[in-house]
Amino acid sequence: MIDFELEPQVLERTKFFHTVAEHMMRPISRQYDEQEHEEPREFFETIWKGGARERQASGESGADRKGGARNLTTVIMAEELCWGDAGLFLSIPGPGLGGAAVAAAGTAEQKERFLKRFKDGEPKWGAMAITEPGCGSDSAAITTTARREGDYWVLNGTKIFCTAGQRALEKSDGFVVVWATVDKSAGRAGIKPFVVERGTPGVSVIRVESKLGIRVSDTAAIMLDNCRVPLDHILGSPKVEPSGGFKDVMATFDATRPIVAAMAIGVGRAALDFVRDFLRDQRLEIRYAIAPTRMTALERDFIEMETELEAARLLTWRAAWMLDRGIRNSLEASMAKAKAGSSVTRVTQKAVEIMGPLGYSRKYLLEKWMRDAKINDIFEGTQQINLLIVARRILGYSSKELT
C-alpha cells in the first residue's frame, strides 16, 4: 500500500527547506536573475554549511535508512526550494546529476570514493554531460568516444547544456560524469559513464549559455580533446553487454526525473500562491463550496490550476516512493516528469494571464516563474520523449517498435 503520510522528522525538514526558500532565496531571486553569470558566493557558503549541519542532525533517521523515505524527502526538498528559486536550487553545491549517475551506475567502492568529497570542506559541485550538438533527446545517438590506451581511457567529443558544468570543472573540487561510447558497433550497449575530475588534462569549458530562465544556474558546453582519465574512472563494468550500457543512463533518469517534476511543482506553486494572496488582498476568495456552474471563470481557472499541480505532486511522490522501496519506476518517473512539466507551463502562463499587465511586469517575480517553468518541460527528457516512454511501458513495445 502506498502511504504518503510523512514522518515527523520529514515534516520538520520540510519546514526547514521552506524557511531557506523564503528567507534566503526569495530576497536575492531577482538580483541573480538579472545578473545571470554573477556567482552568489555568500549564498553558496551559507547553504553548504547549513546543509552539512542538516545532514549531521538528521544522521541515520528513518528518512535516510534503506526502505525509508530518502527519495520522497528529496522531492519534497526540491519542491520547497524551487518555490524559493529554481535557478538557485540548481546552483546549490552538491553531487547533482553527476552524483545521481555515480549512484546509479557505480560500484560500492566508486560511490564511496567519488561521493565522499561532498561531505566536508569547501562548496563542491558534481555535474553530468550527456547532451551533444547532434544528440539531444536521443541519448543513444551519443558520438563522444572513449578508447583505451594503456592505463587510461581517452575521451574525445563535445557536450552541451551541462548543468553546473562550469562550477564542477573550474570552481570546485568536483567532477563531471561524461557519457561516451566505447564501441560504436555495439549501439546503446556501448555507452558508458566516465568520471572526469576537475583539473583533468584535455577537458575544458568552451561556453556558458545565456538562458531564458533558471539564469543563475550555469549551463556549460564542454570539450573533451584527448582527455585522459584512469581506468577505474569508468563507472561499473567496462565490459560491453547487450543488457548494459544505456540502461545505466535510464537508471539515472529514473532517479532524477521525479526531482525535476518536484522542481516544476515548486515553481508552479510559487505562482499559484502569489495569485491567491493577491486575490485575497483584493477581497476575492475562491468559493470552493459552490457548484461549478455558479463559479466565475476566474474561480474555475484557479481550481483547475490547483488540480493540475496536485495531480503532478501525487505522481511525483509515487515515483519517489517506489524508488525508496527498490521498485522499478521507469514508467512512473516519466509520467511524473511529463505531467509536471506540462502542468507548470500552463499554470504559470495562466497566472500571468490572470494578473494581466502586473503579471507581465518585472515588478513581481511572476514573469520570472513563467520563464523558469519551461525548462522543466525540456531537460531530463522532453515532454515528447517522456510520453513516448510512457506509451512504450504501457503497451509493452521496445524502442525499435515504437519511435
* Residues with catalytic roles: 380
SS3 category, 350: helix
Q: Dig out the grid coordinates for 293 from the structure.
A: 456552474
Cβ–Cβ < 8 Å for 191, 140: yes
Q: Dig out the grid coordinates for 296 from the structure.
A: 466565475
Cβ–Cβ < 8 Å for 263, 79: yes
DSSP-assigned letters across all residues of 143-179: --EEEEETTEEEEEEEEEEEETHHHHHHSSS-EEEEE
**What kind and span of H or E run contains 260?**
helix 246-281
**Cα-trace Rg, the chain:** 21
Q: The cell 494578473 sits on which residue? A: 355
**Residues 6+ positions from 316 with CB-CB distance below 8 Å:** 75, 258, 261, 262, 265, 336, 340
SS3 category, 364: coil
**How far apart (Å, rounded) are the C-alpha atoms in residues 246 and 397?**
17
SS3 category, 314: helix
Give, in order, the Cα–Cα distances in Å from 80 to each of 14, 147, 314. 7, 43, 15
**How far apart (Å, rounded) are the C-alpha atoms in residues 136 and 381?**
8
**How far apart (Å, rounded) are the C-alpha atoms in residues 371 and 362?**
12
Q: Angle at CA 144, nearest 5°, toward 242 and 378?
A: 90
